[in-house]
DNA sequence: ACAGGCTCCTGCAGGC
DNA sequence: TGCCTGCAGGAGCCTG
C-alpha cells in the first residue's frame, strides 16, 4: 500500500519521465469509483496541457499543468516553485491501496484494472492502474479554485512545536492519530507501526499523555524511518511498484510490520499483533512501553 | 468537537 | 481440485 515513501518514489520517477511532455489524448474507463469529478470533465481539462512538474503532497501525486493548448513547459531544471506559480491546472492522483501510476511505452501490455491512459506527445503513455479501486483521480482548474494542499502537516518537515500541538489534549491512541491525515499527511499503517517501534512507544498510548521527550522521539523516528524508506525506493508489500514497475526494498528493513510471531530484531522476543483503529497493528511488548 | 465504526473493492490465503 | 469465507486497508461518511 503506497504511503509517503512509495508516493514520493513514484512522483519522482513519473516527474523524470513526463516533465515537459504534452497530453495529447485521454482515455478513461467507465467506472465511477476513481473519479472525484466527472471523467468527461477531467478528460476535457487534461487534453492539450503540458505537464510542468509532478510532485508529492501527503499521499497525493500532484501533476502541475500548463494552460490548455498553451506554451511548452519551462526549461527543465527550473525549480518546482516556479512551475507551481505558473501552473494553471492540476491533476491529482491518490493511489489508495493498490493504485499504480506508470509512465511507459504505449505498446506495453495493458494491465487489468487500468482506469486511465494519457497519451503524451513524446509517444509515452501515463497509466493509472488500480485493482481495488480505492484510488482517486481529480482535475482542478486553478482559475476557479485554489491549488491542492494536504490537510495535515508533512512528517518530513514538521517542527517539534508543531508536532506537539498536533497531539496535545487528544485522547485517542497515538497509532490512530498517526493515521489521521488531517493531523499528519502521508503516514499509513506500515510507517506508523515502524516509527512507534523505533520510538519505543506502544501503539495504544493516549497521545495527550505522551511526554514532550516521547513525542520528540516519535517525530525523529518517523522522519528517519520515512527518509530511509525513500532511499530504498519504498516498501513492496501487496503489489507496490514505482513509475518503472520496479519493486522497493524497505520491506526487508521492517522491524514489526507483518512480522507477527517472528523474533524482535532488538530483543529476540516474538512480535505481537492486535487490531487498533480497525488496522492490523504490530509491536514488540518488550521494547515498546 | 471528537472518537469509533462501517463502507467501498478485489485478490489472496486458508479451510474443508 | 475447487469452492467458500475472511481478511487486508485509506479515507469518507455516519453515529454516539
Assign residue A132 the CATH number of its domain: 3.20.190.10
Residue A25 within any structural domain of the chain? yes
Q: Can you give the pLDDT at residue A82?
A: 54
Report the distance separating Cα A102 and Cα A54, nearest Å: 13
- What is the reported pLDDT for A122? 96
**Residue A110 in contact with residue A145, Cβ under 8 Å?**
no
Say whether both A186 and A57 belong to one domain: no
What is the rounded radius of gyration, in angstroms, for the C-alpha atoms of chain A?
20
Q: What is the mean pLDDT of residues A217-222?
A: 94
The verdict on pTM exceeding 0.85 is: yes
Last residue of a domain, one of A82, A110, A141: A141
A33 in contact with nucleic chain B (CB within 7 A)? yes
Nucleic strand C within 7 A of Cβ A58: yes
CA of A98 to C1' of B12 (A): 13
Would the pLDDT of A84 be above 60? Answer: no
pLDDT of residue A30: 65
β pairing state of A100-104 and A114-120: unpaired
Question: A150 lies in a domain?
Answer: no
Q: Which of A93, A109, A141 is the last residue of a domain?
A: A141
- The verdict on A98 and A10 lying in the same domain is yes
Question: Which pLDDT score is estimated for A236?
Answer: 67
- Write out pLDDT tens, residues A222-267: 999 999 999 887 776 656 677 777 777 777 778 998 888 889 999 9
**Judgement on whether residues A25 and A84 belong to the same structural domain of the protein:** yes
Residue A213 shares a structural domain with residue A103: no
Residues 1-20 of chain A in contact with strand C via CB under 7 angstroms = 1, 3
| Same domain as A166, residue A252 | yes
Contact A265, A124 (CB under 8 A): no
pLDDT band, residue A277 (cuts 50/70/90): confident
**Residue A128 falls within a domain, yes or no?**
yes
Residues facing residue A89 across a β-bridge: A65, A141
Split at pLDDT 50, 70, 90, the class of A36 is: confident
Q: Which residues of A are catalytic?
A: 2-3, 59, 279
Residue A32 pLDDT greater than 90, yes or no: no
Domain harbouring A210, CATH code: 1.10.8.50
User: DSSP readout, A35-82?
Assistant: BSS-HHHHHHHHTT-BEEEEEEETTEEEEEE--TT-PPPPPTT--HHH
- Helix and strand numbers (H, E) in chain A are 7, 10
Q: Is residue A126 part of a domain?
A: yes
Residue A27 counted as domain residue: yes
Mean per-residue pLDDT of chain A: 86
Residues A130 and A175 in one domain: no
> What pLDDT is recorded for position A37?
80
pLDDT at residue number A238: 59
User: A57-66, A128-137, A187-196, A239-248: lowest mean pLDDT where?
Assistant: A239-248
Q: Which residues contact A89 (CB under 8 A, 6 or more apart)?
A: A45, A49, A65, A66, A67, A68, A139, A140, A141, A142
Report the C-alpha gap between A164 and A180 in whole angstroms: 15
Question: 3-state DSSP: chain A helix, strand, coil percent, rounded to 5?
Answer: 30, 25, 50
Higher pLDDT, A139 or A37: A139
Count of structural domains, chain A: 2
Q: Does any domain span residue A179?
A: yes
The boundaries of the domain holding residue A32 are 4-141
Question: Quick one: cell of A46?
Answer: 487534461
Amino acid at each position: 500500500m503506497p504511503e509517503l515513501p512509495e508516493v514520493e518514489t513514484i512522483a519522482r520517477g513519473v516527474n523524470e519521465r513526463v516533465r515537459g511532455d504534452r497530453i495529447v489524448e485521454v482515455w478513461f474507463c467507465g467506472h465511477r469509483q476513481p473519479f472525484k469529478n466527472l471523467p468527461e470533465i477531467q478528460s476535457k481539462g487534461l487534453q492539450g496541457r503540458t505537464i510542468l512538474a509532478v510532485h508529492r503532497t501527503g499521499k497525493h501525486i500532484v501533476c502541475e499543468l500548463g494552460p490548455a493548448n498553451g506554451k511548452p513547459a519551462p526549461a527543465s531544471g527550473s525549480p518546482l516553485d516556479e512551475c507551481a506559480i505558473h501552473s494553471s491546472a492540476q491533476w491529482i492522483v491518490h493511489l489508495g491501496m493498490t493504485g499504480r501510476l506508470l509512465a511507459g511505452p504505449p505498446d506495453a501490455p495493458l494491465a487489468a484494472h487500468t482506469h486511465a491512459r494519457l497519451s503524451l506527445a513524446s509517444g509515452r503513455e501515463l497509466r493509472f492502474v488500480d485493482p481495488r479501486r480505492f484510488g482517486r483521480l481529480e482535475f482542478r482548474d486553478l482559475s476557479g479554485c485554489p491549488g491542492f494542499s494536504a490537510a495535515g502537516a508533512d512528517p518530513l518537515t514538521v517542527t517539534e512545536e508543531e508536532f506537539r500541538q498536533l497531539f496535545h489534549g487528544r485522547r485517542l491512541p497515538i497509532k490512530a492519530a498517526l493515521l489521521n491525515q488531517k493531523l499528519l499527511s502521508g503516514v499509513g499503517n506500515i510507517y506508523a507501526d515502524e516509527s512507534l517501534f523505533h520510538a519505543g512507544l506502544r501503539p495504544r498510548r493516549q497521545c495527550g499523555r505522551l511526554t514532550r521527550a516521547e513525542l520528540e522521539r516519535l517525530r525523529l523516528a518517523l522522519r528517519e524511518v520515512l527518509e530511509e524508506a525513500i532511499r530504498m525506493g519504498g516498501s513492496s508489500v501487496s503489489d507496490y511498484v514505482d513509475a518503472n514497475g520496479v519493486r522497493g526494498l524497505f520491506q526487508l528493513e521492517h522491524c514489526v510490520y507483518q512480522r507477527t510471531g517472528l523474533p524482535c530484531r532488538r530483543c529476540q522476543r516474538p512480535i505481537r499483533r492486535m487490531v487498533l483503529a480497525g488496522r492490523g497493528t504490530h509491536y514488540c511488548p518488550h521494547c515498546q512501553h
